[in-house]
Structures are given as C-alpha cells and as structure tokens.
Amino acid sequence: MIATQKKQLSKKLSESHTLGQPLSNSTCRRGQPPFIQLTLLFITLIVFFIYATFFNQPFFVFITIGMLGCLFYLVPLRYHLVMKGAEAQLQVQDCHERTNLTHSETHQEGEVIEAFRKKIVSYSKLKVLTEELSLCLTLDDTSKTLSSEANKLLGGRETTIILYLFHSKTGVLGISSSRKGQLRVNIKSKKGDLFDQWLVKSMQPLLVEDTKSDYRFDIDKIVTEDARGIRSLISAPLMVGNKALGILRIDSPKEDYFTTEDLRFLATIGDLGAVAIENAQLYERVEQLAIKDGLTHLYLRRYLMERMPKEMSRQLRCNSQMSFFMMDIDKFKRYNDTFGHMAGDIVLRTVGILLMDFFKQPGSLVCRYGGEEFAVMIPDCPKDKAVELAEKIRQKISKQTVLLRREKTQVTISVGIATFPKDAQMKEDLIHKADMALYKAKNEGRNRVCVA
C-alpha cells in the first residue's frame, strides 16, 4: 500500500517537473534537515576528528561508524521530507485549481444574474408598453403609441421607426406612422422598399447588420428607391395567428447598430402591437356598425340626432343657415310585393349609393332615417340652394335604371325641405317641418320637392 502511494506520488512529481513547475522555496526548506541540528552534528564531528587526530587515532573507527549511522538516518529523512514537500505542493496546486473553478463558477453565475436582470428590465418595459396600448381605442392612437414606445425601447436620435399596415380591403401595404427620434418624418416609399417587400414575402423577422455587405439585397436598388442612408435595420411582422396586419421596422444610418437580441425584443413588441392593432380595428368596426346601416352603409338616425345640435350651434355662431331634407321612396311596398324583399334591399342600396355620391359638401350628413326614408343635413345651405340640390338629386334618382329580376325599373322619391333657423329653432321642430313638407309632396302626387 505504501509502495503504491509512493509510486503515485513519484508519478505526480515527474509530471509536475515535466510541466515545468518546480517546487517552491518553502517546500525545499521543508525537505532539508533543520539548520541547528546539522550545525551541532558538524561541530561534533569536527571535535571527534581533532580528538582522533591528535590524541587517539583508533577513535577514527567510531567516527566512521557514526558517520555511516548519520548517513543511514539522513537519507530516509531527506526522502521523507522531499515526499512531504511534494505532497504539500500538489495540495497547493489542487487549492489553486479549486480557486480557479470557484472564480469561474462565480463569473458564470454573475453573467446569469446580469442576464436575468436585463430580462426583468425588459419585461418591466413591456409591461409599460402593454398598459399604454391598452388605453388606446382608435387605430390612429394605437399606431402612434406603438411607434413612440418602440422608439423609447430600441430607437435613438438617428434611427427611423416605420409602422406599415395592410389595408383591410385592398391588402396593400401603407405607412401608418413614421418617426425619427421624437419627430415625425416623411418617408418616400409609402408602400415599403426592398427590405419591406422581402419581409412581406417571407413573413419572418429580418436583421440586416450592413446593407452594403448583405447578399440578399441589391444595393443599387436600395439607393435609388429611398434617399435616406440605411446601413442596418431590424424588422418584424405584425401577425395575429395566420393573419398579417403589418410590419414594424427600425433602421439606422450606422452599420452593426442592431443585434439579434434587439430583433428578438422587437418581435415581442410586434406581437403585443399586433394584438392592440387588431383590437383597435375591431373597435372601429363595431363603432361603425353602431352608427351606420349595414345595408346602405349610411349613418343611422341615432348618429344624426347626436350631430344635429352641434351643427345647429355652429350655424348660430356663424350666422348661417342649415337645410334638412326628408326623403321617401315612392310606392316602396310595390317593389317588395312584386319582386320580393331582396328587390327592396336592392332599391334601398341603390338610392343610398346615389345619395352618398351626390351630397359631398363639407359637413353634409346622409342617413337612413328608417324603413324607406332617408334624411340629409347640409350645413351652410340656404333654402333656395337646398331646393336646387333636392331637385337635382330627385331627377338623378328618377333617371337611374334598377334591374330587378331581369326587369328594368325606375325609382322615384319625394322630398321635404326645412331650413334652420328660418323654419325652426329646435331639432325636433326642424325634423317635423321637413316631415310635413314630405307628406305634402306625397299628397300632391309624389316624385316632387316641397318646402316647409
């Protein structure tokens, strides 16, 4: 057992000498006999030597025996001390290795803690972004908030943030918001440039560290499409499920400005923004359904009642007049009875489209008042001008051919007109006066215009 340990220790010693790691001075001092003992032994031998030389020469025999005994004692002692020193040196090296491992583990744990700290900071920023987006109801407010918060999280003074959205009907990509720093900026490529087109095709996050060295894009085309200096960019699609809503992009005139971590963070911002944008679109759609008729796409009577008092107050301040039309489709029941209720819907939709196309004056409001009745509010319009407009739209509708079950038919309307404040000063009275004028037109034979 002892011999095996000695062999292992000798092997470690040879390895340490091979690696060029000499024993330290303290180890060498521990491997030598104590200085006082050697001095006393040396003095004793000198005294014996002098005594044997001058007084008793046979005493050399005892000196020789003593020296041999010292040799037999010192050699194992020397070996033992050397082995102890080597063992101590190995223990010191082992302690150094453990210290290095401890330092390495501490460094790794520090990096992990720092990474967690950054994630906590990022999540707290995302929490603020989520709270800000939750306060936005309209699509315009949501777009501005998303681009502004993205600029705070990832942007800078020289970076440009662009939010593209797909049009709900045409599907064409268009700019919803663009800013450079805290200021709005005008972007020439309204439908996106080469980078945006690439992302539309792939619908994957895009990181370009240097536009001049990226093999995926043609530098010449990039320069001719937009005069802005773009050297690096990150871009992420805005998607909810499989539905693409738009693109959120940040570009910089400096190369290597963005990292993979920035792209990952932008993708997370894009996910939150996509949900907020979809909610805003749904809110606007619900709001439109609440104030617009689903068949004719005209405003409903409830919205007209909300708008009229405000417009009447404005007319009084401006010392102007506002005309109000009440219209009714003549003999509407005949279309339903002859061609069915689907034909009645076609007639209503046709008249609604003609009214929307005709009354395009600023502030004008066309609504479906109920059933086959329509109402039109025209600000800054005196009675004589209102009569002229009503006669034109009556003639235009009467000349319109409507195809019902492959049969060509004509539609006529009767119109009643009342003017504020000449005919009435309250909205209820104004509607009543226009309604009475409409009944007058009906009683006089329909397809005509009457005034209050």
| pLDDT tens sequence across 254-285 | 898 999 988 998 999 999 999 999 999 888 88
Confidence bin at 30 (pLDDT 50/70/90) = very low
Confidence bin at 436 (pLDDT 50/70/90) = very high
Taking Cα atoms as reference points, which of 430, 410, 401 lies closest to residue 329?
410
pLDDT exceeds cutoff 50 at 28: no
pLDDT of residue 353: 93
CA distances from 4 to 1, 8, 72, 170, 284 (A): 5, 6, 23, 87, 87
* Cα distance between residue 111 and residue 117, in whole Å: 10
Residue range 217-222: mean pLDDT, rounded: 70
For the stretch 348-385, pLDDT in tens is: 999 999 999 999 888 899 999 988 999 999 999 999 99
What single letter denotes the amino acid at residue 374? F
Q: Are 376 and 355 in contact (CB under 8 A)?
A: yes
Q: 139-290 belongs to which homologous superfamily?
A: GAF domain (3.30.450.40)
Mean model confidence pLDDT for the chain: 83
pLDDT exceeds cutoff 80 at 431: yes
Of residues 310 and 117, more confidence is placed in: 310
pLDDT exceeds cutoff 60 at 34: no
Model confidence, pTM: 0.58
* Cα distance between residue 249 and residue 177, in whole Å: 11
Catalytic residue numbers read 372
Of residues 3 and 370, more confidence is placed in: 370
Q: Quote the crossing angle between the two packed helices 383-399 and 341-358, to the nearest 10°.
A: 140
* Cα distance between residue 209 and residue 226, in whole Å: 18
Which residues share a beta bridge with 100? none
Least confident of 5-9, 212-216, 428-432: 5-9
pLDDT exceeds cutoff 70 at 77: yes
pLDDT exceeds cutoff 80 at 7: no
Which residues share a beta bridge with 329? 413
pLDDT of residue 84: 87
pLDDT exceeds cutoff 90 at 217: no
Main-chain dihedrals φ then ψ at residue 364, nearest 5 degrees: -70, 145
pLDDT of residue 423: 92
> Hey, is 189 helix, strand or coil?
coil
pLDDT of residue 18: 42
pLDDT exceeds cutoff 90 at 179: no
Main-chain dihedrals φ then ψ at residue 321, nearest 5 degrees: -120, 150
pLDDT of residue 4: 52
Taking Cα atoms as reference points, which of 174, 124, 173 lies closest to residue 152?
124
Residue carrying structure tokens 């340990």: 5
Q: Is 3.30.70.270 the CATH number for 299-451?
A: yes
pLDDT of residue 177: 86
Of residues 45 and 105, more confidence is placed in: 105
pLDDT of residue 188: 66
**What would the two tokens of residue 249 be?**
């992009």
Cβ neighbours of 146 (radius 10 Å): 29
pLDDT of residue 46: 75
pLDDT over 70 percentage in the chain: 85
pLDDT exceeds cutoff 70 at 27: no
Confidence bin at 222 (pLDDT 50/70/90) = low
